[in-house]
Amino acid sequence: MSIVVGDDVPPAPEVSDSRTLRRGLADLVAGLRNQELWLHLGWQDIRQRYRRSVLGPLWITIATGVTALAMGLLYGELFDQDIKTFLPYVTLGFIFWNFIQMSILDGAEVFSKNEGLIKQIPAPVSVHVYRVVWRQLIIFAHNLVIFVIVLIVFPQDPGWGVLLVFPAFALYILNSVWVAIVFGILSTRFRDIGQLLTTSVQLVFFMTPIIWSADSLSSTTHESSSRLKIVEINPMFHYLEVARGPLLGHHVELYHWLVVLGCTAFGWLLALFVMRNYRARVPYWV
């Protein structure tokens, strides 16, 4: 048996740190600093979608506005609601719901639809996540014009509570990021997740107070109280309340904020776990 001594001792094999939390966080920070790339890509997505269109991105506003107006008038008549308060309620519901819905659905496809860029450009995978969030912010800004028009027709008096919409929307952005990370990475490995999310989002839409009001369930009867509790199980109800309530001048209960903060914290823990364990596999899975 020979013994290797001195300079002949072979070096210890290098240990890959690709599956560490440090690398996952570094990817998120590096992607955020590369804002020129994801800002450009996100804007190009909008331009490409409405290429050779006369109205361009204004079709985003028109489509959402027509849907909100039609649903607001229809369900306002069916539920015998005051159109002056119900139409702004429905309009904001559609605007915020579109942001949530598209963050989930586009986030699930963020990597699978950008296979070429991921394999050709040596950039952090989080760049594509920020690209999706930026694109949704552009669409949200277009849709917000609808609410401004509704406010002109049906003036509201939200008071100083309207300032709460800023922390609420900051939470929306944080949630949009972790949703794209989690569903985007997992969907590259299991393509059925995208189809499952599409079906689930459609179902949740009808279970969430968007085209109907949760106040209609708030009565003293036991049956109505039970229905309201079922609605409160839906996290999307709380997400809409913290953002829509301040703009309409409604008092937002503390428990709505606590639910949203809890979901945000849980989502980011899940996102960090996914980034730690599966981020490096994305180029192989796509």
Q: What is the pLDDT of residues 176-227, one digit of tens each?
A: 999 999 999 999 988 888 889 999 999 999 989 998 887 766 654 555 566 7
Give how far Cα 201 sits from Cα of 102, 111, 122, Å: 10, 20, 33
Integer Cα distance of 244 and 61 in angstroms: 18
Residue 49's identity, in one-letter code, is R
- Looking at residue 75, its pLDDT comes to 85
- Looking at residue 161, its pLDDT comes to 83
- Span 232-244, average pLDDT: 93
- Looking at residue 63, its pLDDT comes to 83
Tokens 């006369």 identify what position?
Answer: 54
Give, in degrees to the nearest 5, the angle at Cα 286 between 174 and 98.
35
Give the number of other CB atoms < 10 A from CB of residue 28: 20
Nearest to 141 by CA among 266, 42, 275: 42
User: What confidence category does residue 115 fall into, taking pLDDT thresholds of 50, 70 and 90?
Assistant: confident
Positive or negative: CA dihedral 35, 163, 67, 143:
negative
For 248, the enclosing helix (H) or strand (E) is: helix 235-248
pTM of the model: 0.86
The per-residue pLDDT of the chain, averaged, comes to: 85
Please check whether residue 178 is in contact with residue 100, taking contact to mean a CB–CB distance below 8 angstroms.
no
User: Higher-confidence residue: 104 or 232?
Assistant: 104
Q: Is the pLDDT of residue 77 over 90?
A: no
Integer Cα distance of 68 and 244 in angstroms: 15
Nearest to 247 by CA among 153, 157, 174: 157
Q: Is the pLDDT of residue 9 over 60?
A: no
Q: What is the pLDDT of residues 84-98, one digit of tens each?
A: 889 999 999 999 999
